[in-house]
Amino acid sequence: MFGRRRVGEAVLSAEALRLVEVRKTYGTAGNVVTALDGVSLSLATGSFTAVMGPSGSGKSTLLQCAAGLEPLDSGTVVVDGQPLVGRGEAQLTRFRRERIGFVFQQYNLLPTLTVLENVVLPLKLAGRRVDTERAGRILAQMGLADRLRHRPDELSGGQRQRVAIARALLVEPRVVFADEPTGALDSRTAREILALVREVVQVHGRTVVMVTHDPVAAAAADTVLFLADGRLAGHLARPTPEAVAERLTHLGNAARDDVTLEV
Amino acid sequence: MLILAWRSVRQRPGQFTATLLAAWLGAVIIMLFNSLHDTAASAGVDAASAESLHLTGGVVGGYGTLLVFLAIASTLTVTVRQRGEELSLLRHIGATPGQIRTMVIGEASLIGLAGTLLAVWPAILGGRLLLDRFQETGQVADGVDHTFGPIVAGAGSAVMLLACTGAAAVAVRRAGRAPGRRPRQRGRLAAGALSLAAGIAGVGATFGMQATDSALMAAPAYGSILLAAGLAVFSPYLLRALLRPMGPVLIRVFGGGGHLAVLNTRERAAELSAVLMPLVLFTGLATATLYLQAVESDAIRAAGIRRSVEDTNLETLNFTVVGIIAGFACLMLINSLYSATTYRRREFGQQRLAGATPAQVLSMVGCETVLVTVTGVVFGTLAGAAGVVAFAAVRTDDPDPGQGPWIWLGVVALCTAATATTTLVTARRVSGVPAVHAVAAA
């Protein structure tokens, strides 16, 4: 109970991510858009959660706030037991690169670096030891063993996204945030990428939060959280694409009803 | 497509600021020196006055025009490349390469025209001040009035239009190519080689002239500028060769930022060349012209002519004239660095998303600045020295210019200060926005 935490001993918190009453608005006075309106949630370590909602429901903002990429107006974000509030950009970056991995719709790989250089870049920036062999192994698992020296513009969209997943995995993050990871891919490639994201959870034991608008993608998760007008609007465990689409349709109706009521 | 060109200039003037600034400064320089020809050609000017005016207008105005052309070309290359996404969008919705070319060249001519019109007043003002200096030093008779006439109007606007459209045509040829294919370097390298050859010829031509030729300074000045432009094309490759031994040292000194800088420098030859061009040009031109003038002054002194107040004045006048050109080159350097660094907003954002702290982004930029400045100074000095040595050899029969290092140290200090300040301040400002916004499509 009073044991000192030794350096290098990873203490895994059972809760990977917690949001408490997170609020976020955009725009100037007189034209304020509320993107997040008091969102609270808690995700267990090793869970795979999809966040869904109509456009403008605040799902991308939720992910960016939870990942410390956007400052909050109020509320708290706790990643792996560590609160993420009121720090400078440099401190936030250090916080992120120790605990958080990202996968974006537009990949965000650096065009001037090779696949291997892209994947080990976060470790280099963090001044951590670079295990090139492990990086090669992860890339091989992604089916990119023969692409290590290629540049992103020589790869297909699906291959680029695999590189991005490998990059996120190599830093051994507590949480991987994926923002529409299949948004720019055809449906076959999207299925392959979703299978890899599932492996991130099942094989590598990471926690994944994925924002998507695609019911098929969302159905790959263990749980789907629905977001409407910046608020949580229910969840669905063990989802199927049909059930997700069904719920989404009702969310759309609810949103339209709201508009009518306001007029 | 011309309507589109007009719209894009009118609705997003900010995007064209860098080009407009380059065009405006260039037009001021060209018209300022060409107005000396107009003044000389006006009625009632005596032969001696006309000769001094034509000489300055021809020699300094001549290599000044060449410099303006190169400067506008390098600015347009940077700004057209920045619009790659917009141009590829146009291609996707059905614009032919010809239409895109028409649009970019149309925009450039609009900006060139605007820059030229805006430059008329400052050029008249500057021309009057310069004529005053000529009259104070007794180079031009007191009764001569500054004239802004047909030569300025014709030559000024023709040169500007040619510079803007020509540079835009070259820049868009590169940008208009289908994406995915690696840009071919052959055309650029050929132009660089041509420029080097012309530079060597220019420096060589110095030896074909007499020590007393009044236009003797023109040949080495042209030579140095062309050599500088040619060396700037090849310098990224030599820089890359240097990186092999220097890379590990830089990574040790600059940490994660140094690592990024080394990888970037290895890959971004074309981008680096665009930044190195104004750097090498400034160092080469400033070194060459200032030392040429110093050697000339010493030669006059050595000829045994009594050093009077007028001589000192004349020296000041000559330094004023070359100072204007060097100042122009320095402003162009700042302008290009500013737009090249602003362009990297998305790249900085991606690096930060990959885990780089703002300090690491700045140390990367700092490390790149060191590399680029050292390369620029080395090649600029080479280009400048070639002209100076040739001039000294012909003018004084001794290739040793016999000048101290102070002018050169001043040029290097100014170049380093301008480069470091512009790049770091801009990078800091550009990376001030949240990383997710920086990578979002503009």
Instruction: Please tell me the predicted confidence (pLDDT) of residue B12.
Output: 65
Number of domains within chain A: 1
Distance of alpha carbon A19 from alpha carbon A77, whole angstroms? 5
Residue A148 falls inside a structural domain: yes
Domain range for A114 is 15-262
Q: Are residues B192 and B156 part of one domain?
A: no
B192 and B134 in one domain?
no
* pLDDT mean across residues, chain B: 84
Question: Does the distance separating the beta carbons of A110 and B350 come in below 8 Å?
Answer: yes
pLDDT of A144: 92
Q: What's the CA gap between B12 and B166, in Å, rounded?
A: 23
pLDDT at A257: 43
pLDDT given at position B103 = 85
Per residue in A194-223, is it b (16+ CB within 10 Å) or e — as a string?
Answer: bebbeebbeeeebbbbbbbebbbbbbbbbb
- Structure confidence at residue A137 (pLDDT): 92
| Domain co-membership, B189 together with B179 | no
User: Which amino acid type is present at position B128?
Assistant: R
Mean pLDDT of A186-212: 91
Span B22-34, average pLDDT = 90
Task: State the best of A62, A93, A118 to mutate against chain B, taking most chain B CBs within 10 Å.
Answer: A93
Report whether pLDDT(B213) > 80: no
B264, B268, B355: residue with CB nearest A93: B355
For position A116, which CATH number holds?
Answer: 3.40.50.300
Lowest-pLDDT choice from A61-70, A78-87, A146-155: A78-87
- Looking at residue B14, what is its pLDDT? 65
User: A91: which residues sit within 8 A by CB, 6+ positions away?
Assistant: none
For A231-258, the pLDDT digits (tens) are 998 889 999 999 999 998 887 555 444 4
How much is the pLDDT for A255?
A: 47
β-strand partners of A77: A19
The band of B307, judged by pLDDT with boundaries at 50, 70 and 90, is low
pTM: 0.78
Please say if the pLDDT value at position B442 is more than 60. Answer: no
A-chain residues near B268 (CB < 8 A): 112
Does pLDDT of A175 surpass 90? Answer: yes
When the pLDDT of each residue in chain A is averaged and rounded to a whole number, the result is 85
Per-residue confidence band for B230, with pLDDT thresholds at 50, 70 and 90: very high
Predicted pLDDT at B149: 83
B10's CB contacts (< 8 A; 6+ apart) are none
If asked whether residues B169 and B121 sit together in one domain, one would say: yes
Q: How far is A46 from chain B (nearest CA, A)?
A: 23
pLDDT digits over A214-230, tens only?
999 999 999 999 999 88
Which residues lie across from A41 on neighbouring strands?
A19
Whether residues B10 and B47 fall in one domain: yes
Shared-domain flag, residues B170 and B190: no
**Residue A205 domain-assigned (yes or no):** yes
Query: Which one of B129, B156, B183 terminates a domain?
Result: B183
Does an H or E element contain B276, and which?
helix B269-302
B146 and B198 together in one domain: no
Most A CBs within 10 Å, among B181, B265, B267, to test the A interface: B267
Assigned domain for A6 exists: no
A102: chain B residues, CB-CB within 8 Å: 353
Average pLDDT, integer, range B8-33: 82
**Taking residues A52-66, what's their average pLDDT?**
88
What is the tally of structural domains in chain B? 2
Asked if B436 and A96 come within 8 Å (Cβ–Cβ), the reply is no
Q: Tell me B152's DSSP state.
A: I
Which residue of chain A has the CA closest to B441?
A106
**Average of per-residue pLDDT across B265-292:** 86
Say whether pLDDT at B336 is over 90.
Answer: no
CB contact under 8 A, B256 and A124: yes
Residue with tokens 């802004």: B148
Q: Is the pLDDT of residue B399 over 50?
A: yes
Q: How far apart are CA B151 and CA B33, in angstroms?
A: 10
Query: Do B172 and B197 belong to one domain?
Result: no
Mean pLDDT of B262-291: 85
Can you give the pLDDT at residue A9? Answer: 40
Name the minimum distance, in Å, from the CA of A93 to any CA of chain B. Answer: 6
- Residue A7 domain-assigned? no
Looking at residue A40, its pLDDT comes to 92
Strand A175-179 to strand A33-44: parallel, antiparallel, or no bridges (unpaired)? Answer: unpaired
Q: Are residues B191 and B272 in the same domain?
A: yes
Tell me, yes or no, whether A134 lies in a domain.
Answer: yes
Better-scored residue on pLDDT, B174 or A169: A169
Is A121–B355 a contact, with Cβ atoms under 8 angstroms apart? yes
Give, as one character, the DSSP assignment of residue A155.
Answer: S
Chain A hits for B347, Cβ within 8 Å:
110
Type and span of the H or E element at A49 = strand A48-52
Mutation for testing the B interface, residue in A62, A97, A108, A180 having most B CBs under 10 Å: A108
Same domain, B147 and B85: yes
Please name the residue of chain A whose CA is at the shortest distance from the CA of residue B364.
Answer: A125
Same domain, B179 and B189: no
> For residue B310, what pLDDT is reported?
61
Cβ distance of B347 and A110 shorter than 8 Å: yes
Instruction: Among A76-80, A191-195, B219-223, B294-298, name the one with the lowest average pLDDT.
Output: B294-298
- Express as a percent the part of chain B with pLDDT over 90: 24
Domain that holds residue B417: 185-442
What pLDDT does residue B374 have?
92
| C-alpha–C-alpha distance, residues B202 and B195, integer Å | 10
- From residue A179, alpha-carbon distances to A49, A108, A214, B286, B434 in Å are 12, 11, 12, 52, 16
Q: Does residue B187 have a pLDDT over 80?
A: no
Question: Which residues does A121 contact at the CB level (< 8 Å), separation at least 6?
Answer: A110, A113, A167, B260, B354, B355
- Distance of residue A263 Cα from the nearest chain B Cα, in angstroms: 33
Q: State whether B355 and A96 contact (CB < 8 Å).
A: yes
Is residue B169 domain-shared with residue B198, that is, in the same domain? no
Could you say which of B132, B164, B183 is where a domain stops?
Answer: B183
Interface with chain A: mutation pick from B346, B348, B429, B436, highest number of A CBs within 10 Å: B436
pLDDT at B181 over 60: no
User: Which is higher by pLDDT, B188 or B194?
Assistant: B194
Q: What is the rounded average pLDDT of the residues B370-378?
A: 92
